[in-house]
Structure 1
Amino acid sequence: MSNPRVWILEQLDAERGRWMLWLPVALGLGIAVYFELPSEPALWVGPALAALSVGLAVLSPAGSLARALAIGAVAASTGFGLVAWRTASLAAPTLARPLFSLNVEGRVSDIQRLPDGVRVVLEAVRLRGNGVPPPEMMPTKVRVTLSRGAPPLTIGDRLLVLANLSPPAGPASPGAFDFQRVAWYQQLGAVGYALAPATVIERGKPDGFVRTLDALRADVAARILEVLPGPAGGVVASLLVGEQTAVDKNVAQAMRDSGLAHILSISGLHIVFVVGLVMGIVRYGIALVPALALRIDAKKVAAVLALMAALFYTALAGAPVPAQRACAMAAFALLAILLDRTALSLRLVAWSAVIVLVIAPESLTGASFQMSFAAVVALIAGWESAAPLRRRLHERAEFSDHRWAWRIGAALAASLVTTLIASVATGAFAAYHFNRLSLLGVVANLLGVPLTGFWIMPWGLLAMLLMPFGLESLALVPMGWGVEALNAIAFHVAAWPESAVLVPSLPGASLWLLTAGGLWLCLWRRRWRYAGLPVVAIGLLLGPPPAPDLLMSEDGRVLGLRDEKGVVHVASARTDRFVSESWARRQGQEGAKRWTVSADEQAAGLGCNTGLCRWRKGPWRIAMVSDEKRLAEACGSADIVLSTVDAQARCRGPRLVIDRRDAWKDGAHALWLDDLTVRRETANGRRGDRPWVPNSSMRQGAVKAPGA
């Protein structure tokens, strides 16, 4: 082999046509680096790095690798600066602490249908009651779940409701899902629930194009649920207008376990049907009028109208990330038709990713962006690689006496291979974000995708066309039959043994390695692409990080422990289903239960009794207190005390005391115990000094074990 440097340069030069595909990767890298920083960077850093990179690009020889790398640096710096600017531009007040029995008044800006109620987002908020913040600290937006019997609502109505509010919740444990960061980019300053039926104090109309579309989406969802009020209606609302909150929880879980959850997200399948339907109707309609067909280019007219339809449908669905990606790809393909050019598939994906990241750079960190683009990149790269084999099979089929059998077999094989590629490409991301892997998704998709494509979606699109005339029920009813069959497939496959497995949380390094290796494998065409496989393998082999032994929720009210078998338990008088399930799921378990001990352990003084739980691991004696009356007893006999009541000023004996005030200040806590020390980590300390982190501080330290 020649000099390695020369060989690498030769490979890069041979792949020159693929360099452009790495542009969105560089843009995303800058965004990812921003979110990994321990503190908020100055706004001038991104533009300064971009200017420096532009200078290097200008000084580099045209067409050289140096210029390509400099352009990549420009993209990375741009992504870094863009997300930093967006973070600063969306700054909005957030409620500092929970408030109870408030009169909440605001204008309805969004309506989210739930299986058992309605959730609204209010803007131009006014709060009245004890402890309300001053006007300059009033939340910009508030999300409230309304009680049963909520009045009919439309976007623009002014609503008054008695509710309890609290700040957006932080991670349930260090490293868990960060809803506070999501809420920051939505300018959501408080969440809560109604204590009494809401009152519409003023009927209003949506102002502006976006609000009008939001109102239209809410109206369409309401009309769908009126015709199909059961679980099928929630799925239909999700399929047609992206109203995933309307999906029944059991149905949603079955969809996840069976590998059909992607169908609920408006993406390529839905956009393709819209584009295909519009293009088909327009082209065939023009062809029916010979005088018109001879004078205009029906294909280009159809492309323009299909593009308008795709943009409108994406906006109507709320423009989720998969729909943005699919719409952008469809738009580039339709523009290529208008310009009489052939669109290159992976280039479509690349430019679609650029558009999505420029519009909402924070979407990079979400499961929706990662899984959507991972699936489509892997599918296109896989089919590109299989092109020679597909040509040979096609030629054999053309000369076969059983051509129809070849075509049926090819369709089934294509569906199977497509499902396998998409499942493998998204599996690691599903494991990272949801701690769940669907093992039988191939079976469910072989049944569910054709049903969705050939029955459910055509009826759905017909229902949308009939809705302006009030005739949507004619199409929604048969669509509901198809959805009921789809739900049955999901429940049936999900009920099979080992249809889905829970896996412990992967470390962040795994996500970086899996992404880098997968991109290297998919974006290049020559054999050196296979160097990405060992990188992916290393990412999978890293394994989960050590699980914590003790846990405290961010409000300081829920305490947990991991026993000698590795099972997570709740060890406090109060529990929280979301928190406890998050703790268990991150360890690959179905759910956390109350901690109970054997008779021998009870005789040894372990277990829980009226507000005090005692546990022992190695040399450490641990007390978990939920009753203020048992605090003194706990402090006098334990090395570590976790308390849901104030304890710092009154608990001097133990080596480590963590109470609810620590949780309020630093977020959820996790402790790792060994024979010598205790390692302590907090959610806020792990996230760093970022705008969405309240009371952030880097509180991580070590405590010596007894006798050490």
Structure 2
Amino acid sequence: MRVLALVEAAMLRQRGHLIVWSPICVATGIGLYFSLRFEPDVHVYAQLVSAIFLGAFCSWKLPTAWSPVAIGVALIAFGFLLAGGRAHLVSEPVLKWRYYGPIEGRVVSLDRSASDALRVTLDQVRIEGVPVDERPRRVRISMHGPATNLLPGQRIMTTGHLSAPQGPVEPGGFDFRRHAWFQRLGAVGYTRVPVLTIAPASAANGGVPVTYWRISISNHVQNLLPGEVGGFAAAVTTGDRSGLRSDTLLSLRASNLAHLLAISGLHMGLLTGFVFLACRVGFSAVPAAALRLPVKKLAAVCAMVSATIYFLLSGGNIATERAFVMVLVMFGALLLDRRAISLRAVAVAALIVLAMRPESLLGPGFQMSFAATTALVAVFGALRNQDLVSGPKWLKQFIGLILSSAIAGFATAPIGAAHFNTMSHFGLLANLLSVPVMGAIVVPAAVLSAFLAPVGLEWVALTVMGIGLKWILGVSEWVSGLHGAQGYVMSPPDFVLPALSLSILWVILWQGRARWAGLVPAMAVMTLWGQGTRPDVLVAGNGGLIGVMTENGRALSKSKGNGFVASVWLENDGDGADQKLAAKRWPGEPGLVQRYQTEGLEIVHLTGKRAAQDFNECRPDQIVVSPVALQLSGGCRLYDSEKLENTGSLALSKGRLVTSNEASGRRLWSLGYSGQ
């Protein structure tokens, strides 16, 4: 009874602080939906609706101390329903076979692939021989041939290859099919031939005026600021990264400055903060306005308008959407005479983003942006009334900059390491040298260029902006070139990030000394991450590559081909080697038939048609992998191109073989694909 009384007292102490737990409960329900290996049927959803009503009823009937528990259960059920409803809402046809032929559609967006190829996303697609009701709503094509002056709204035609989005490159890995499902991408592919324009692009043509103006502004900025500086400026102002080379992106990531590319909380905060300050000072300078009008609230409205325009021009990705919602909540609180920056505001912003795009919970953009924001608000909220250092104002601001960079870096480091398998060892230094330039030069110059554009003088402000961006690129190149600038981290088990996040959130949000109990599971989870292991053998989904774990790291069966798969495997291992170096680790002589012994099994990789035609072994202790269809008699386990089409990629750990499709389960985004 005493324990129960202590628990009730602890629950009562949380009153007034419970709203911050709402997005956590909703996120838990969303996470449960995506963690399933089967697609829930209508009976499951009916039970969840009942759980919501039951939770609401119990919260009314239960004692005050326990009613939040019932509300939490209802919110978890609501999160599950939210994710399931969204998954069904975005359902679109998926191409069910490999296609080669004419492709026609309207350009809706442009970006670049990891190999620097221009990628174009089309809607209103026409594909020869595919009925209208089976055509993908959107397709994405990589341009390996000549493709210039493409603009949203332009209708184009080309001849290329298309196929359904592929599954994970290893069992349990990132599932591109799920990502494509929520983007309504029904096919991806490439073309090597020229692109023909059927209808020109214009602001009115095709119904994508905002995107048209966005890319037009991006092109104009890059014409005034050529090279990587122009590409950086376009990314900062419009979110268009197509003007940046892959080596520049790698340099920014290695120096922990890639967040300056994403239009997120930093950019939105600097922009709206500058507009708010400028408008407030401007209104206050006019006596009639200062005496008769609510200057502070008018400045807040101006900041909200500028945030809306910036959001529309940015392309509206997850990070920008989160930042936009956060800004609206912050200035909305100011209009209502409430505290603008608080954990409640962060919670409201998280709820709005999750309600709009529940799938964003799984992405690094949502996780890193809310982790940084929550940590900054919590720490600076706790230090609000404390003077950390005595001295001049500039010194306090400098200390604040160091502290904020350290807090944000510490909060996002585990998430970045889990998703990207890298850690920047000198990221704090790079941010201290770059973020002040971003706030004092780049963002004000970008705002000024918008005001000067109507009179044709935007080049003046953009020139100043270019100086700041050139400095940031120089810092990125210098820091990324330092010895040991980048470390590599093995991918964690699936439970690590959710468990670590909940543990840290408990420490931040729980009221009372029991909050420190959250450090115990956090440390335990980090220990388990460090002691994790990787599969002994990995097999690509097309049978074209095998990777085996050796004492020197993963060895690959080929030095060329399947480059994307090879890079992902090595990244997930926390291995900084490239494919050529990993191929040199193979324990045996190179040849058309590669063999590897493990756990009493022989893995045989046939690397081409000739090797497949000449191979005639098939023993019970063999696993034979072939990228072409093969007929063998005997007791071996054969995984040729036809069988791999049904299984997806393979992983062998301690003698247990797991297929990608087994690990992913039968979900909406996999049921419509070939091989399911």
Q: Quickly name the TM-score band, shorter chain normalised.
A: over 0.9
Contact 2:30 2:80 in 1 (8 A): yes
Cα distance, 1:596 vs. partner?
A: 4.2
Residues 1:291 and 1:151: Cα distance change in structure 2 (over 3 Å): same
- Provide the rounded CA distance (Å) in 2 between the counterparts of 1:56 and 1:50: 10
Contact 1:572 1:624 in 2 (8 A): no
Aligned pairs (5 A) from 1:507-546 = 507-543=493-529, 545-546=532-533
- Provide the rounded CA distance (Å) in 1 between the counterparts of 2:153 and 2:349: 32
- Report what 2:420 is aligned to: 434
- Report what 1:158 is aligned to: 155
- Provide the rounded CA distance (Å) in 2 between the counterparts of 1:522 and 1:311: 31
Cα distance, 1:354 vs. partner?
A: 0.4
Code of the aligned partner of 1:595: A
- Provide the rounded CA distance (Å) in 2 between the counterparts of 1:108 and 1:56: 47
Cα distance, 1:696 vs. partner?
A: 7.8
Residues 1:40 and 1:246: Cα distance change in structure 2 (over 3 Å): farther
Code of the aligned partner of 2:527: L
Contact 2:651 2:659 in 1 (8 A): yes
Contact 1:666 1:696 in 2 (8 A): no
- Provide the rounded CA distance (Å) in 2 between the counterparts of 1:509 and 1:371: 17
- Provide the rounded CA distance (Å) in 1 between the counterparts of 2:494 and 2:224: 45
- Where 1:589 maps in the other structure, the secondary structure is coil
1:640 and 2:623 correspond: yes
Cα distance, 1:430 vs. partner?
A: 1.0
CA shift digits 1:203-225 (9 cap, x unpaired): 25456998222112111111122
Cα distance, 1:27 vs. partner?
A: 0.7
- Provide the rounded CA distance (Å) in 1 between the counterparts of 2:351 and 2:102: 43
- Report what 2:84 is aligned to: 84
- Provide the rounded CA distance (Å) in 2 between the counterparts of 1:279 and 1:208: 35
1:277 and 2:260 correspond: no
1:553 and 2:534 correspond: no
- Where 1:387 maps in the other structure, the secondary structure is coil
- Report what 1:651 is aligned to: 632
- Report what 1:425 is aligned to: 411
CA shift digits 1:574-633 (9 cap, x unpaired): 6221110101111111233363479xx7xxxx4332x21122235322211123443453
Q: Please, which of 661, 665, 669 is the counterpart of residue 688 of structure 1?
A: 665
Contact 1:104 1:127 in 2 (8 A): yes
- Where 2:605 maps in the other structure, the secondary structure is strand
Cα distance, 1:489 vs. partner?
A: 0.9
Contact 2:98 2:163 in 1 (8 A): yes
Aligned length: 669
- Report what 1:575 is aligned to: 561
Cα distance, 1:185 vs. partner?
A: 0.5
- Provide the rounded CA distance (Å) in 1 between the counterparts of 2:616 and 2:436: 61
- Where 2:534 maps in the other structure, the secondary structure is coil
Cα distance, 1:542 vs. partner?
A: 0.8
Which shifted more, 268-277 or 83-92?
A: 268-277
Instruction: Report the identity percentage.
Output: 31
Residues 1:458 and 1:626: Cα distance change in structure 2 (over 3 Å): same
CA shift digits 1:416-463 (9 cap, x unpaired): 221221111111111111111112211111111111111122112222
1:595 and 2:595 correspond: no
- Provide the rounded CA distance (Å) in 1 between the counterparts of 2:611 and 2:543: 17
Contact 2:49 2:77 in 1 (8 A): yes
Cα distance, 1:276 vs. partner?
A: 2.4
- Provide the rounded CA distance (Å) in 1 between the counterparts of 2:483 and 2:311: 38
Contact 2:446 2:462 in 1 (8 A): yes
- Where 1:177 maps in the other structure, the secondary structure is coil
Contact 1:684 1:694 in 2 (8 A): no
CA shift digits 1:657-703 (9 cap, x unpaired): 2112222112111112x4xxx2111112111001112578999xxxx
Which shifted more, 38-47 or 266-275?
A: 38-47
- Report what 2:602 is aligned to: 621
Which shifted more, 190-199 or 290-299?
A: 290-299
- Report what 2:226 is aligned to: 229
- Provide the rounded CA distance (Å) in 2 between the counterparts of 1:148 and 1:56: 58
- Where 2:590 maps in the other structure, the secondary structure is strand
- Where 1:294 maps in the other structure, the secondary structure is helix
Code of the aligned partner of 1:439: H
Cα distance, 1:339 vs. partner?
A: 1.9
Contact 1:685 1:698 in 2 (8 A): no
- Report what 1:662 is aligned to: 643
Q: Please, which of 308, 327, 344 is the counterpart of residue 324 of structure 2?
A: 327
- Provide the rounded CA distance (Å) in 2 between the counterparts of 1:626 and 1:117: 27
Residues 1:507 and 1:337: Cα distance change in structure 2 (over 3 Å): same
- Provide the rounded CA distance (Å) in 2 between the counterparts of 1:327 and 1:154: 26
- Provide the rounded CA distance (Å) in 1 between the counterparts of 2:533 and 2:266: 40
Q: Please, which of 272, 293, 298 is the counterpart of residue 296 of structure 1?
A: 293
Which shifted more, 550-559 or 2-11?
A: 2-11
Q: Which runs of 5+ in 2 are unaligned?
A: none
1:607 and 2:617 correspond: no
TM-score (norm: length of structure 2): 0.93
- Where 1:692 maps in the other structure, the secondary structure is helix
- Report what 1:305 is aligned to: 302
Contact 2:154 2:206 in 1 (8 A): no
Contact 1:689 1:697 in 2 (8 A): no
CA shift digits 1:187-233 (9 cap, x unpaired): 11112222222111112545699822211211111112212231122
- Provide the rounded CA distance (Å) in 2 between the counterparts of 1:55 and 1:621: 56
- Report what 1:36 is aligned to: 35
- Provide the rounded CA distance (Å) in 2 between the counterparts of 1:633 and 1:302: 76
Contact 1:634 1:641 in 2 (8 A): no
- Report what 2:358 is aligned to: 361
1:125 and 2:151 correspond: no
CA shift digits 1:304-350 (9 cap, x unpaired): 22212212211221222222222222212222222223345100100
CA shift digits 1:140-171 (9 cap, x unpaired): 11112335643433322211112222222321
- Provide the rounded CA distance (Å) in 1 between the counterparts of 2:4 and 2:549: 51
- Report what 1:706 is aligned to: none
- Where 2:208 maps in the other structure, the secondary structure is helix
Aligned pairs (5 A) from 1:120-519 = 120-128=120-128, 132-147=129-144, 149-205=146-202, 211-343=208-340, 345-388=342-385, 390-391=386-387, 393=388, 397=390, 403-404=391-392, 407-519=393-505
TM-score (norm: length of structure 1): 0.89
Which shifted more, 156-165 or 469-478?
A: 469-478
- Provide the rounded CA distance (Å) in 2 between the counterparts of 1:209 and 1:79: 35
Contact 2:8 2:66 in 1 (8 A): no
Cα distance, 1:7 vs. partner?
A: 2.2
- Where 1:586 maps in the other structure, the secondary structure is helix
Residues 1:125 and 1:329: Cα distance change in structure 2 (over 3 Å): same
Residues 1:44 and 1:452: Cα distance change in structure 2 (over 3 Å): farther
- Where 1:445 maps in the other structure, the secondary structure is helix
- Where 1:94 maps in the other structure, the secondary structure is coil
- Where 1:437 maps in the other structure, the secondary structure is strand
- Where 2:495 maps in the other structure, the secondary structure is helix
Code of the aligned partner of 1:346: L
Residues 1:557 and 1:147: Cα distance change in structure 2 (over 3 Å): closer
- Provide the rounded CA distance (Å) in 2 between the counterparts of 1:154 and 1:233: 18
Residues 1:344 and 1:526: Cα distance change in structure 2 (over 3 Å): farther
- Provide the rounded CA distance (Å) in 1 between the counterparts of 2:219 and 2:673: 42
Code of the aligned partner of 1:688: G
Cα distance, 1:277 vs. partner?
A: 3.0
- Report what 1:95 is aligned to: 95
- Provide the rounded CA distance (Å) in 1 between the counterparts of 2:134 and 2:362: 28
